[in-house]
Amino acid sequence: MTTLLSRKKCGILGATGSVGQQFILLLANHPFLHLHAIGASERSAGKRYKDCVQWKQSSPIPGEHEGLVLRACKAENFKDCDLVFSGLNSEIAYELEMDFVKAEIPVFSNAKSYRMNPLVPLVVPLVNPAHLGLINFQREKLGLKKGFLVCNSNCAVVGVVVPLAALQAKFGPIVQCEVFTEQAVSGAGYPGVSSMDLVDNVIPFISGEEEKLEVEAQKILGSLNGSATEIDAQTDLRIGATCTRVGVTYGHIAYVSLRFKNHPGPSVRQVEQAMMEYQPELLKFGVSFSGPAIKVFMEEDRPQPRLDRNISNGYTVSVGRIRDGGKDGHFDLRFAALSHNTVIGAAGSSILNSEIAIIKGLI
């Protein structure tokens, strides 16, 4: 299907940051997205990408992108793009992204600014692409023809909601979930957390992260109503979270304990099977990622960030340590989930969301 699509010109806002650099890598040789324009702050505008960026990736800047000249992130500078991806900091994103949308440029955002806005789909492509159905109503409300805004979730949320979606599809509602995370330093952007704070240490707090995990998961796992005007959040799923920062470059681990509504809950074997067989709706669209959505590890010391974060180029969520909640315990099930925070946790999700929107004829 993808080979029949005409190429779309895309831009990246915040192209020099952690998320922006991942966009630069993932858009190289893309089958139907052509990276046409890149933007960053006024400090960087006018300079060639390779002369300006503090490149922190383990593979080199793709040759086709290294000579692109950075533009200031103003909507009038990106009028020649069919869509833009945003890796802007949330303080800036709030105003700038809406300027782009009002200029009729579709925006796929990684910032938190509009994630909980009732008009904005919050889409983890491996879970809820159907929420893109809200776009027509958003356009109607904002008086737009071509522009719209789609957000993807906080990077720690992705590793949790993908396995939860697989479990709920097979075993019915989950009513309670307790999450403990160990999050990579790149999740704080560059230069992020000082090495003096991070080496030989764990930081037991990430500002705002626990609240995001609790509410964003409910919205993502909710459903679009019949008139496609609202997302009904899954509010009867209670989530508690503790988020920590550790000295890992890429890859967030979430340790999840949960309770199903229906008892008795599934066996460990049934859970492993359900996760291995999970076929997200996204795979029906013929996007550039063909799965698996979840890789299940039977080894008791996996997944590990360094070994497993790059499975399927960082698009697959790895799950391991699946075990029952313990005799007479409060929870039915426990597991660990690893996700690449700048691929499926950020840029990769935005790219897949845009691919679905293109295939659905929304762009």
Q: CB nearer to ligand NAP: give 162 or 258.
A: 162
**What is the rounded distance in angstroms from the CA atom of residue 68 to the CA atom of residue 147?**
25
Between 192 and 286, CB nearer to ligand NAP: 192
Q: Name the residue type at position 277.
A: E
Three-state DSSP state, 301: coil
Taking only Cα atoms into account, the Rg of the chain, rounded to an integer number of angstroms, comes to 20
Identify the bridge partners of residue 176 per DSSP, sorted by sequence position. Answer: 238, 259
β pairing state of 174-183 and 223-224? unpaired
Let me know if 252 is a catalytic residue.
Answer: yes
Of the residues 10, 81, 151, 155, only one is catalytic, namely: 155
Please tell me whether residue 217 binds ligand NAP under the rule CB under 6 A: no
Q: Considering the rule CB under 6 A, would residue 186 count as an interface residue with ligand NAP?
A: yes
Nearer to ligand NAP, 34 or 43 (CB): 43
* Closer of 14 and 222 to ligand NAP (Cβ): 14
Residue 133 near residue 91, CB atoms below 8 Å: no
Q: Establish if 69 lies at the interface with ligand NAP (CB under 6 A).
A: no
Q: Give the Å distances, CA to CA, from 66 to 2, 55, 85, 264, 347.
A: 26, 11, 18, 56, 18
| Burial (Cβ within 10 Å: 0-12, 13-18, ≥19) of residue 310 | middle
Q: Which is nearer to ligand NAP, 5 or 45 (CB)?
A: 45
The residue from 11, 14, 121, 303 that contacts ligand NAP (CB under 6 A) is 14
**Does residue 330 carry a catalytic annotation?**
no
Q: Single out the residue of 121, 163, 187, 314 in contact with ligand NAP (rule: CB under 6 A).
A: 187
Return the residues of window 70-109 that contact ligand NAP according to CB under 6 A: 73, 87-90, 92-93
Interface with ligand NAP, residue 19, by CB under 6 A: yes
Q: Is 110 in the site for ligand NAP (CB under 6 A)?
A: yes
Per-residue x/- track, 249-288, ligand NAP (CB under 6 A): ----------------------------------------
Q: CB atoms < 10 A from the CB of 180, how many? A: 15
* Residue 318: its H or E element: strand 317-324
Q: Which of 62, 133, 173, 189 binds ligand NAP (CB under 6 A)?
A: 189
Q: Are the CB atoms for 350 and 85 separated by under 8 Å? A: yes
**DSSP secondary structure letters along 111-148:** SSTTTT-TTS-B--TTT-GGGGGGHHHHHHHHT-SS--
Q: Which of 65, 131, 252, 340 is catalytic?
A: 252
Say whether residue 314 binds ligand NAP (CB under 6 A): no
Min dist CB 96 to ligand NAP, Å, is: 7
Element (H, E) at 156: helix 155-171
Q: How many CB atoms lie within 10 A of CB 269?
A: 9
Chain residue at closest Cβ approach to ligand NAP: 17
Nearer to ligand NAP, 59 or 207 (CB): 207
111 belongs to the binding site for ligand NAP (CB under 6 A)? yes
Residue 138 beta carbon to ligand NAP: minimum distance, rounded to whole angstroms: 20
Binding residues (CB under 6 A) for ligand NAP: these are 14-20, 40-41, 43-44, 73, 87-90, 92-93, 110-112, 155, 186-187, 189-190, 341-342, 345-346
